[in-house]
């Protein structure tokens, strides 16, 4: 990263000290069983028309879904959002690591999207696109991989081997090519900041709603790719409801949508 006036951020630095080179300490595992009265329907992950992967010929049908799920969940997630200037009211304090998140990360690291610089992760509202960015951030910090994240319109935070720094989106700097730049899309942020778009980073990844107005222009100019995420299956919905300590009746309502 080129020289710039840097602003200390004790919360971001504390996050760096907690997560850089170490597994997120606030995590556990659990198991959940699918109620037999609930039908399980998986929707396969699809991508934009430029994707050249072969069809899976129905390999994701519900008959292959196990009747129970062992999963990992991360907690104290609101502290991550606070450290990155995000709206902590927009997320729960628990992050269930969905299989989809792991697949997306692997796709970005070594899969068909690994050579694409600009990527939009989208899908139906409420399926955890912003949460995926938080999972990806924590995973990269654990593996000491330089990462920048933008959860607010005027500020982003960088993490590398020197620590954590928050910077204004108006600053004229360039992130180095080993960085991944992660950007949310919310009431304040329409597209990733100019620093992200103008830097030779490995990936600029935006989590966004399906509304094309939020990403159509920048992703076209960047010759990027749009990835539409898979819906959570029954067991994942149940696990999320359980860990967020919501009414289980909500699970059935969500599953039936």
- The predicted structure's pLDDT at residue 149: 99
| Total domains in the fold of the chain | 1
pLDDT in tens, 87-146: 999 999 999 999 999 999 999 999 999 999 999 999 887 778 899 999 999 999 999 999
The verdict on residue 110 lying in a domain is: yes
pLDDT in tens, 24-64: 999 999 999 876 444 444 433 434 434 443 344 444 444 45
The verdict on residue 2 lying in a domain is: no
- The predicted structure's pLDDT at residue 250: 59
The verdict on residue 223 lying in a domain is: yes
The verdict on residue 116 lying in a domain is: yes
pLDDT in tens, 168-196: 999 999 999 999 999 999 888 999 999 99
The verdict on residue 15 lying in a domain is: yes
- The predicted structure's pLDDT at residue 49: 37
Q: Are 122 and 210 in contact (CB under 8 A)?
A: yes
For residue 120, give the CATH number of its domain.
3.40.50
DSSP 192-239: --HHHHHS--SEEEEE--S-GGGTHHHHHHTT-EEEEPPPP-HHHHHH
Which segment of 86-95, 191-200, 227-236, 240-249 scores lowest on mean pLDDT?
A: 240-249
pLDDT in tens, 154-169: 999 999 999 999 999 9
The verdict on residue 213 lying in a domain is: yes
pTM: 0.83
The verdict on residue 62 lying in a domain is: no
The verdict on residue 246 lying in a domain is: no
Residue 107 belongs to domain spanning: 10-25+39-52+98-230
What is the spatial distance between Cα 169 and Cα 181, in angstroms, rounded to a whole number?
13
């Amino acid at each position: 990263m080129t020289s710039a006036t840097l602003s200390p951020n004790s919360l971001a630095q504390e996050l760096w000290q907690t997560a850089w080179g170490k597994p997120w300490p606030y995590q556990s595992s659990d198991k959940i069983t699918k109620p037999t009265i609930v039908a399980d329907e998986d929707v396969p992950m699809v991508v934009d028309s430029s994707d050249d992967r072969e069809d899976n010929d129905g390999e994701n049908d519900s008959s292959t879904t196990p009747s129970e799920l062992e999963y990992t969940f991360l907690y104290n997630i609101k502290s991550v959002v606070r450290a990155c200037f995000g709206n902590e009211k927009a997320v729960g304090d628990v992050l269930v690591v969905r299989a989809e998140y792991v697949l997306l990360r692997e796709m970005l690291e070594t899969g068909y999207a690994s050579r694409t610089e600009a990527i939009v992760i989208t899908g139906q509202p409420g399926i955890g696109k912003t949460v995926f960015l938080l999972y990806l951030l924590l995973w990269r910090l654990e593996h000491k991989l330089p990462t920048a994240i933008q959860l607010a319109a005027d500020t982003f935070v960088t993490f590398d081997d020197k620590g954590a720094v928050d910077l204004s989106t108006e600053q004229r700097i360039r992130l180095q090519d080993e960085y991944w730049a992660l950007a949310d899309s919310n009431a304040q942020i329409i597209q990733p900041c100019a620093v992200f778009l103008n830097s030779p980073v490995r990936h600029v990844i935006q989590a966004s709603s399906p509304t094309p107005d939020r990403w159509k222009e920048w992703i076209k100019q960047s010759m990027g790719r749009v990835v539409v995420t898979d819906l959570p299956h029954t067991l994942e919905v149940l696990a999320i409801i359980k860990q967020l300590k919501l009414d289980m009746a909500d699970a059935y309502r969500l599953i039936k949508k």
